[in-house]
Structure 1
Amino acid sequence: MLSYRNIIATIIAVAAITSCNKSQLDLAPISSFDVQADSMNVSHDGASYSLGSPAIFNFTGNPAAITFFSGEVGHRYNYRNRTSATGISRLIFTNALNAGTQANSLHVMLSTDFKGVVGSRTVIQGVVTTNTLVYDTAATQANIAAASWTDVTPSKLATNATAVIDTIDLSAYAAAGKKVFVAFKYTAQAGSVQNKWTITNLTLSNNLTDGTIYNIGNLAAYNVPILNYGGTTFNAGWMAFPVSNTYNWAITAGSSLVITGASTAAAATSNAEAWTLMGGCDLTTVTPDIGVAVKNISVAPLPFKYLYTAAGKYDAVFAATNLTTYTQDSITRKIPIVIK
């Protein structure tokens, strides 16, 4: 026999489910959703607005959610799921030689078969429990040595502290369809002051024919996503490993890569080699376009205003969705907009 407490709990649960289902069933059929541009000037090209005046959209129907894609770069409905596109891949960076005169001490290297940095997580129990990623330097050094590397060093690196901007076209590697690891390899010789190099303003980008540029890599930390036109993309980040001697790259996230060898001839008793690496990077990466939430299930549809910041023609798209226990329906409405 059910106890009184169980009966009351059952009644409350049924009431909650009934209430939830009622709100879901009150949603208008998705097919009733429509959008009209509130404009005094409508032609076959679309609704026209003056630059600086907001476009106004009125809704009919009551879907659970409405998402707006303005048609601007980064907010185009047709590209909402696009993650790859063929363009021109460019690595751009600024370099400066701050000390030393040794020749051929900096190399830009690429690999498509580097097996990556080796590491494992170590949990340390204490007053504050930490979960730390510990890198295996020896295993990573072995992977560097085993990989095939192509030297793409520019012919005109800096020769003194005056910074030089270099651009390297990596499009051939994008066409190969493999992820690429980018590295700076530092070498120094014993017997004289060893060079100090500073790398700044680094970007790895995919440049499309429509003029859009999608950054794929930079100097930011791996846990800081790359922002392209309002959307975010994974950032591989940089790691540094000495191969011989103890001199290593100093990574200042978001700012620079710096390496300093022996600062005097007397201190330069042995050769040195160190690598800093980023990757793997898909050179065809683009950031999917994103929309803006206009309405959710808890609010009624109201007139929506949006201010375009540049003259031109845009395909504004409203994507409406009904998602209930019983159904999942969606529909889109496209409104051509002209900003003069």
Structure 2
Amino acid sequence: MKKIVYSLTMLLLVTLGFQSCEDLEEVDAPSFEIAFNTNAKVGEPVEFKIKNAPNFLYFFAGDFEHQYKFRDRTNAEGTVTMSFLNSQKWGLGANATGNLSVWYSKDYDGSGSAASVNIATWTEITDRFNISTLYDFTLQESGIVDITDLADGKPIYFGFKYFCDDTTTRPSEWYLDNLNIQMDVADAPAPLTVASEDVPGFKGVDVQGIVSGWNANKWYWDSGKKLWRMRGQVKVGGEWIVNEDWLITNAINLTKVAPDKGTPLKTYSEKLETFEYTYTKAGTYTITFIANNETIHGQQEKIQEYTITVTD
């Protein structure tokens, strides 16, 4: 009888032990609370107070490019435009104008070799843009040009071609800056960024000319002026040269846009009781908090949404 009682007691203790371990491994669902003034002013910080903050907390403010509903949007449809700044100087005679042209290709391989540029199919679109004739290095707007007809979801490359074959007089020098490709979509208060000078960036290709270690007669990034520059007016062996150089973007998908981003407010080890956010435009916004309690044993997520009205 004693043996039976002992066995039952041990079985009960083991069962309770397993139950305790399971309880310890259970992850609690987030139960945080947010307090803030639901009416705010443009330019004035909104203070958010947080009670019982979860292990991890993520914040979408609801304004442009910070909307939770667009967190996974990578493609969109709309009007695609392209613009850039350009300027030139020093060219004489026939070389005073006409050395810069704009092209696109959908079969260029992106390798950056002269051979790949030569075998690719390039279509000229120079006449869509304002190409500088000011002759004083004042950066001129190209105009915001509609290129929606080129957007088919496939990779495209844009090339800025410098070409000078008149060796009787001084060639021109060019500056290029602020490439900007954007998309206007129906539900956005401002254009979405498709590509820029930094993303996806450029490659210079010397097709016909002289590659120089000191950046003569080719496109290069001028770190002092913070723009792309072609110093085509440099003599080689005392003579002007025939020169063809391309500044070509990396591959761009004209229907691809950057997804909206939120702000990580808290990680597991951090404490968070309050934070501030400032809205720059009037409107009614949907604020979204994504909370997570997470351990090696699992995770629990909770999403809470609020509305805030911002006035001027």
Please state if 1:328 is matched with 2:299: yes
Shift of 1:214: 1.5
Structure 1 gaps, min length 5:
1-20, 40-46, 119-139, 221-234
What's 1:302 paired with?
273
Shift of 1:156: 4.7
Shift of 1:331: 1.8
Match of 1:197 among 155, 173, 186: 173
Size of the aligned set, in residue pairs, is 272
Shift of 1:58: 4.3
Cα displacement string for residues 278-299 of structure 1 (whole angstroms, at most 9, x for unaligned residues): 1111223322222222222224
Shift of 1:54: 4.1
Alpha-carbon separation, structure 2, partners of 1:68 and 1:324? 21
**SS of residue matched to 2:93:** coil
TM-score (norm 2): 0.75
Alpha-carbon separation, structure 2, partners of 1:201 and 1:98? 19
Alpha-carbon separation, structure 1, partners of 2:271 and 2:170? 69
Alpha-carbon separation, structure 2, partners of 1:68 and 1:156? 42
CA distance 1:284–1:252, shift in 2 (3 Å)? farther
What's 1:79 paired with?
70
Identical-residue share of aligned pairs (%)? 22
TM-score (norm 1): 0.70
What's 2:13 paired with?
none
What's 2:283 paired with?
312
What's 1:206 paired with?
182
What's 2:150 paired with?
173
What's 1:237 paired with?
201
What's 1:115 paired with?
109
Shift of 1:146: 0.8
What's 2:213 paired with?
none
The aligned amino acid for 1:28 is: D
What's 1:98 paired with?
90
Cα displacement string for residues 5-33 of structure 1 (whole angstroms, at most 9, x for unaligned residues): xxxxxxxxxxxxxxxx9998485323xx2
Alpha-carbon separation, structure 2, partners of 1:26 and 1:303? 28
Alpha-carbon separation, structure 1, partners of 2:263 and 2:230? 41
Cα displacement string for residues 162-208 of structure 1 (whole angstroms, at most 9, x for unaligned residues): 4432134322112x212221111122124421421312333222132
CA distance 1:23–1:48, shift in 2 (3 Å)? farther
CA distance 1:142–1:325, shift in 2 (3 Å)? same
What's 1:63 paired with?
54
**SS of residue matched to 2:239:** coil
Alpha-carbon separation, structure 1, partners of 2:229 and 2:156? 19
What's 1:29 paired with?
29
- Give the greater-gyration-radius structure (CA): 2
What's 1:225 paired with?
none
